[in-house]
Structure 1
Amino acid sequence: MFAAAIFDMDGLLIDSERPIMAAWIEAARTLDIELSHAQYLQCVGLAMAESKQILAALLGGAAAYQHAATQVTAALQLQRADGDLRPLFPIKPGAAELLTALRGRGTRCAVASSSSSGQIQACLGSLDVLHHFEAFAGGDEVARAKPDPALYLLAAERLGVEPADCVAFEDSENGAKAALAAGLRVVIVPDLKHPPEPIIGQAFHVLDSLHDAMAHVPLWFPTPAQERA
């Protein structure tokens, strides 16, 4: 059914949203501000500029935001340093198994992430799954972030596959909107913040985890031999 799979990264392939949220909440406390989970979730799935604007408003201005951002960066670096060779962000359940299964079937895979190209390479390289992907599209390579379709169009172009022949795996509302606008079918695997019902209703499928995708692999991703039959 699909010739290729294009994956979001943060909150989908890697469990990055939780440690980042925890770091921001702790940084807010150093400013004597109680940043709630619900308040922080307003930023999930947004482009960096939009997230910065929301957090600055919640924290009391640009100076407070910059103070907190410095604290967050330091906290995450400490986690990396204390990680005893473990990656900063762990891989999500089922991700490695799904990527291995797709590779075994000859399914072409790419990443379309709002993170920079360098961050994509570093994160996925640290988890030993980088070799499963043929193409990457990072947020630093396009003029407009998700929900604009540019990232997914770029990833499909680099794979040499028509968007209509690709399925996107996404966790966020803006990511799903971007993939749909690019002409892909979308499998939604919600993370911290569930997309609203109108977006869920447009999804090709909704899963609890990437592990659950394994049952659908034979139908969604036929092998070359099956396509010739």
Structure 2
Amino acid sequence: MTTETRALLLDADGNLFPSEEPAFVASTEVTNRFLEAHGVQRRYEPEELRLATTGKNFRTTAVDLLAEAGMADRLSAEALERWVAEERRAVSIYLGEVLRPDPAVLEPLTRLAAGHTLAAVSSSATPRLAACFAATGLDELLPPEVRFSAEDSLPVPTSKPDPAVYLHALERLGLDAAQALAVEDSVPGAQSAVAAGIPTIGNLCFVQLPERDERRVALLEAGVATVVTSWDEVEDAVASPVP
């Protein structure tokens, strides 16, 4: 979008691959067991949990759900780590089984990689990212050394909308914010990139059609420069200079 753009910082889940819906199939089962184990009667269906927590990782979701129930004091740090590991394992296995390569993502990204550094900037844990990139054929375009996880890459795990993972990616890549362009599908993700000072594109490629109008408005309110509906449109936006 500018002549300075050297790197594209790409959210992963729901942006590079349609992982949000299947991930919540596996995550909801673990989440409901977590709530039961901590004396919370509330139970979720996968779609309900997705709509309530898209853009957050399980660590943040678990803490938030107990806080909403007034039971935050029941969760020890050690127990949280055990549940995070269990959810990570279940979701990684499931996504590795159901995701497939998508030419509508791979082909534009391959062209973009010819002129830009590509990096993944995600709230998800690195094992989950590894399973997704392997299943979708993105390993070569986004190898492990350019994957940045708010769960695993930072001294203290966090989640978007905290900008820490984007700031970390910029530092590791040796870039100023103006030299990067973020692509995000979720509002917390867009808020994270914008708070880091990075120009951001909102991408509705894998957002369900009934949710697109509302998401478009919310992404623009979060500060994205433009909103697109495909990776071909991302490619066009990257090539178009900002007036």
Aligned to 1:226: none
**What pairs with 1:3-152 in structure 2 (closer than 5 Å)?**
3-23=6-26, 35=45, 37-53=47-63, 77=93, 80=96, 83=97, 88-91=98-101, 94-104=104-114, 106-133=115-142, 135-139=146-150, 140-142=152-154, 143=156, 144-152=158-166
Aligned to 1:208: 229
Helix, strand or coil: the match of 2:140? helix
* TM-score w.r.t. length of structure 2: 0.69
- Partner Cα separation in structure 2 for residue 74 and residue 116 of structure 1: 12
Contact 1:94–1:210 at 8 Å: present in 2 too?
yes
- One-letter code of the match for 1:135? V
Deviates more, 1:32-41 or 1:179-188: 32-41
Q: CA RMSD in A?
A: 3.7
| Residues 216/73 of structure 1: CA separation in 2 closer, same or farther (3 Å cut) | same
Equivalences, count: 211
Contact 2:13–2:19 at 8 Å: present in 1 too?
yes
* TM-score w.r.t. length of structure 1: 0.72
- Partner Cα separation in structure 1 for residue 87 and residue 110 of structure 2: 37
What stretches of structure 2 of length at least 5 have no aligned partner?
A: 37-41, 76-81
Contact 1:94–1:212 at 8 Å: present in 2 too?
no
- Partner Cα separation in structure 2 for residue 220 and residue 79 of structure 1: 37
State, as a whole percentage, how many aligned pairs show the same letter: 27
Question: CA shift at 1:161, angstroms?
Answer: 1.8
